Amino acid sequence: MAYWLFKSEPHKWSWDDQVKKGAGGQEWDGVRNYQARNFMRQMKAGERGFFYHSNEGKAVVGVVEIVAEAHPDSTDESGKWECVDIKAVTPLNEPVSLDTIKADERLAEMVLVKNSRLSVQPVSEDEFAMICRLGGLVAEDVKAG
């Protein structure tokens, strides 16, 4: 079981927008980066990830679930790009800010810290559990299955 992180600028697509889409989820379209696409191809239905607000907010704000595995991006004409669908699972009780993540040496290896520009990225199981805890959630309650 792998864990992931999805970045979005809240004025384009926010956590609230994601929640409003409900259980049906939403295409994570518009990704035009090969690394990000390749990570999405590895995602399995039911896996969990974080929803991160970039630019404004700069914090992990919620937990999402993959509801559809990689398929062609409906906003892409070229046929090169793919995306998954995700749905909101639960907000964090307390958003976990980038500052908090950077200040915690146990999270220093996160891709979020190491490669701040990658918009879809893997998160280790330990990192997932750690951020759940910092966000006021019990990781075991949030893990899939």
Partner DNA sequence: GCCAACGTTGGC
- Residues near DNA, by CB under 7 A: 7, 9, 32-35, 54-55, 58, 98-99, 102, 112, 115-119
Say which DSSP state 104 is in: -
Closest CB to DNA among residues 14, 119: 119
**Distance between CA atoms of residues 44 and 29, nearest Å:** 17
CB of 135 to DNA, least distance (A): 17
Residue 127: both structure tokens together: 């990192």
Residue 69 contacts by C-beta under 8 Å, 6 or more apart in sequence? Answer: 43, 44, 45, 84
State the minimum distance, in angstroms, from the CB of residue 141 to DNA. 27
The nearer residue to DNA, 42 or 46, going by C-beta atoms, is 42
Closest distance to DNA from the beta carbon of 145 (Å): 29
The residue among 103 and 138 lying less far from DNA, judged by its C-beta, is 103
- Identity of the residue, 101 or 137, whose beta carbon is nearer to DNA in the bound complex: 101
Name residue 121's amino acid: Q
Burial, 111: exposed, middle or buried (Cβ in 10 Å; 0-12, 13-18, 19+)? Answer: middle
User: Least distance from C-beta 105 to DNA, angstroms?
Assistant: 16
Joined together, the tokens standing for residue 131 give 């951020």
